[in-house]
Amino acid sequence: MSYESAARRIKRAERIVVLTGAGVSTASGIPDFRSSEGLWTEDHAREYYMSNDYFQKHPDDFWKKYKAIFRLKLLQEYRPNNVHQFIHELESDRRNVSVITQNVDGLHQLAVSSSVLEYHGSLNHSFCQDCGRSYPLESVMETMVPVCRNCGTTLKPGVMLFGDLITAHDEAEWIIKEADLLLVMGTSLQVTPFCLLPYYAGEQGRTSSILINNEPTDKDDLFDIVFHDDLSYAVQQLQELL
């Protein structure tokens, strides 16, 4: 299929849902944590350290490792790239665009996308498990181990840890149910249950679908149109046609 065909489907769509993964943020300098060059491949024990179980048992050591692994000191230096901007620019008076992202970097919000569901949470805030008070990233970076100013409890990151329950899946399905186009960008669709969302879109019967990823996925056959291209190149092609 051609980019012309994809552009025609985007032009016809009135309600687009965009699923995004780590590939969308790599052009902003944020590494893909599970690619061949990603951070997780450097040390598989990191999944153990970034678990809810490890946080509950060793909160002080967890925070030291968490800040190093996610490079929190650099987070505020990252900026949206042309893929984030393209997704925002799809919005119009006629077209509603919702983003469901695996990314925890907050770049879709910085690109001013109107509707963003952070499926795996966010690095930009943490919260107290006892009183529920939320704290922004700036506050979390003031000390090595952040604690709640209200009750002294060690804060928990707003990002989903291994072993946490996914709470956004039902909302994601509800958003997809209303869509007439599913656009999936920069994800290998390997992480459950996020990878089930394209199946749900297909069950709706009226949802067209496009996948853009830099390499094949085992879900390619679920989509009407598939591109194995660099995302920056792909959005440039689409922008010229739209």
Per the annotation, the verdict on 84 as an active-site residue is no
Q: Which residue has the tokens 């985007």?
A: 10
SS3 content of the chain, % helix, strand, coil (to 5): 40, 20, 40
Q: Among 44, 58, 84, 120, which one carries the catalytic annotation?
A: 120
The pair of three-digit structure tokens given for residue 113, joined into one six-digit string = 């996308």
| Residue 195 assigned ligand-binding role | no
Q: Quote the radius of gyration of the chain (alpha carbons, Å).
A: 19
Contact indicator for 97, 16 with CB cutoff of 8 Å = yes
Amino acid at 172: A
Q: Is 151 annotated as a binding residue?
A: yes
What is the torsional sign of CA 184, 190, 195, 196? positive
| Bridge partner residues of 213 (DSSP) | 228
From 213, 172, 212, select the one nearest 193 (Cα to Cα): 172
Chain-centre distance for alpha carbon 215: 18
Integer CA distances (angstroms), 23 to 14, 19, 213, 225, in order: 25, 11, 8, 18
Q: What tokens does 209 get?
A: 């679908």
Annotated binding site: 128, 131, 148, 151
Binding residues for Zn(2+): 128, 131, 148, 151
Active site residues: 120
